[in-house]
Structure 1
C-alpha cells in the first residue's frame, strides 16, 4: 500500500497561505545543473516551523509558482535551504532561478506545507532518484537522530549530476550511490527484499522509479510513501462530464463544464483559492468535501485518503455524479 502518515507538527508561526519575503543569502552549485539556495527572512525574523518532507512555493511571477522541497535543518529557524535542478524543458521557473537569482536578491515564498511527512518507524528504506534526493536528505538526518535503522539507495544519470554526495559521504555504508552510467538501473528488487517487517519505504524521483517501487512494495506488502514531481498517469480516468459544485461557505453554486475545472469556475465567480501547479501534484488547492463523491485525479492523496473522500484537489479532480458540496 502507498500511504502518507503525519507526524505531530508544532504550530507554525504564520499561516501556510501567507507569503513571506525572503532574502537569498547563498547560491552555489552542488552538481551539474543543480544549485543550492539558502533563504532567510528579509527582516531577520524566525521562519515558520517545518518537518521532513515539507516544501515551499516560490512565487516568481503572477503565473509562475514553483514548489521546492526543504532540505536543510528543521531545527534551524533562521534559514531555509532548497535544491533546484535546471529542468531540460523548463517552463520558466528553474531557468529563472539558475540564470537570474544571485545572493542578495529577494524572493517571495508561501508555505511550508507537507504532503510527504516522515512516519515514526524503527526501520526505513529510502529510495531517491535525481533531484528526488532533496526531501529524502532531511529524512535520513531525522532517522539518524531518532536512532532508527535506515539505508538509502540513490540513483542518477551519472555521479557528477547527483547532488549532495559530499554530505551523504559521512554516512558510510548506509548509503548506496548508483549512477546509471556505472551501475545501470537501480536494483530495487534486491534492495527492497531485505526489508524487515514493518519497514517504512520512502521514495521520491522520476515517475518510472516511483512506479517500479510501488509495484515491488505492493507485492511485498511494504508500506510505501512517495512524492511525485509530475502527475501520475491514471488509466482509469473516464471522459469529462459537466457537474455542479455548491460552494457552501460562499453560498454560490457553479457549473463545471466538461472542458473546465472546479478551480477555474470558482475563480470566475470571485472565490479566491490558492493554487500552484494546476496539475494535481503540489496539494495547494486542496478543498474539503462536504457532500458528494469526488473523481480523484491528483497525484497527492493516498488510496486511503481518496477512499475517505474528505478532501480533493480542485485543479484536476472532478465529480462522480452530478453534484459536489465543497467548503469554499
Structure 2
C-alpha cells in the first residue's frame, strides 16, 4: 500500500513502515525508515511529525525514539475511544512494508536547559517526555517523572522507565492510586526547576492553574487537542495585507485567515487546522493579534510578532503578514 498524497505541512518524505509492535493496551509503536537507507532529518526532544494515514487522515505524533539515531523515526499511537479515523487506521490497516508520507519534524515543545526538571505525563503524553528524560540524563540534570494513566496495562514505556530509573519515576495508575495529587506535587515553585507536561486537556488545564503563581517560563506544555474555549470568542471581519504577495485580503467573520488567503490564491503550509501543530505559523509585521492557538505562552503572545493563521484573528481592523 502506498499513501503518497502530500501532507499539508512540511517537506514530505516517503518512508517505509519497517516495524510495528504493541507497547501497552491500545498503544502501538511504529518505526519508519527511508526505503534506501538514507539519513532522516535531525530532530530534538519534544518534536513531532505529520503522518498521512489515509486520504484526508493527516495526524501529528510526537517522536519518541533517540534523536541521535538518524536511521529511523519512532512514534507511539494510542487507539482512541472516540477516534476520528487516524488511530484506528494506524492500529488496524497500516502494515509493515507500507509506504507512508511523513513531514519533516517540527518542535514547539523544546527542552530548555535547566539543572532540574519535573516531568508530568498523562497517558500517551509520555511520548515527547521520553527523549526529554534521556537528554536530561545526558546533561547530568536532576529530574523526576510523575506518570499517570487509566491503568498500568495501558501505560506505554512504564516497565522500561521504572527499570532504568527506579528512583526517579513515579507511576500513578488511576485505578490503583486515583488521580494525580497535583496540589501536593505543585504546592509551590521549586528552585531552578522547569516543569514539562503533556497529556489530556483536563490534566494540562489543572497543571496550568496550579503553576499560575510560579515564575514565568517555568511551565512548558504540549496539547494534542485545542485548549478548551480557545476559539469560542465572537469573530469580526478584518483585512489582512500580505506584504510579499502585494495583495490585501478581506477575512469575513465565518472564515479563518488561512481559508481567506488560500481562496485568494496564496498557498500556505498548514496541517491540523486547530492551532495545535504549528505548521501555519506566520510572522506579523503590523497590527494586533487575537491569539486563539494552543501553542504560544502568554509571554509569546504578548510579543505580537507571530500567529497561527488557522485559528488566530486580528484584534483590530487590519493585520500585515509576512506572506
- Describe the SS at the equivalent of 2:161: helix
Distance 1:64 1:314 in 2: 21
Distance 1:216 1:239, change over 3 A: same
**TM-score, reference length from structure 2:** 0.94
CA distance in 1 between counterparts of 2:291 and 2:232 reads 9
Whole-angstrom CA distance in 2 between matches of 1:227 and 1:244 = 31
- Identify if the C-alpha distance between structure 1 residues 292 and 90 changes in structure 2 by more than 3 Å, giving closer, same or farther: same
Residue 13 of structure 1 corresponds to which residue in structure 2?
A: none
1:92 pairs with 2:92: no
TM-score (ref. length: structure 1):
0.92
1:256 aligns with 2:277: no
Partner Cα separation in structure 1 for residue 247 and residue 76 of structure 2: 41
C-alpha deviation, 1:194, in angstroms: 7.5
Question: 1:168 aligned to 2:185?
Answer: no
| Structure 2 equivalent of residue 180 of structure 1 | 174
Deviations 1:27-79 (A, max 9, x none): 01111111000111122110000000000011234532110000000000101
Contact 1:123/1:196 (8 A) holds in 2: no
* Partner in structure 2 of residue 156 of structure 1: 149
User: Where does residue 225 of structure 2 map in the other structure?
Assistant: 230
Partner of 2:194: 200
Distance 2:296 2:190 in 1: 26
Kindly indicate whether residue 191 of structure 2 is the aligned counterpart of residue 189 of structure 1. no
User: 2:66: which partner in 1?
Assistant: 73
What is the Cα-based RMSD across aligned positions, in Å? 1.5
What count of residue pairs does the alignment treat as equivalent?
A: 313
Q: Distance in 2 between matches of 1:59 and 1:236?
A: 26
Name the structure 2 match of 1:131: 124
Q: 1:194 to 1:168 in 2, by over 3 A?
A: farther
Distance, in Å, in 2 between the alignment partners of 1:30 and 1:225 is 26
Distance (whole Å) between structure 2 residues aligned to residue 40 and residue 136 of structure 1: 22
Partner residue of 1:5? none
Alpha-carbon contact 2:189-2:215 (below 8 Å) kept: no
1:256 to partner: Cα distance: 0.7
Aligned to 1:295: 290
2:53 aligned partner = 60
List runs of 5+ in structure 2 lacking aligned partners: 1-8
Structure 1 residue 197: Cα displacement = 0.7
| Aligned-pair CA distance for 1:191 | 2.1
Query: Whole-Å Cα distance in 1 between the matches of residues 167 and 102 of structure 2?
Result: 37
Q: Does 1:23 align with 2:16?
A: yes
The answer to whether residue 36 in structure 2 is matched with residue 43 in structure 1 is: yes
Offset of 1:221 from its aligned partner?
3.4
- Superposed CA deviations along residues 219-267 of structure 1, whole A, max 9, x for unmatched, are 3437100000111124795311011111111112111110011111111
Distance 1:59 1:251 in 2: 33
Residue 235 to residue 45, structure 1, CA distance change in 2 (3 Å): closer
Range that drifts further, 154-163 or 58-67: 58-67
Q: Which of residues 205, 210, 219 is equivalent to 1:211?
A: 205
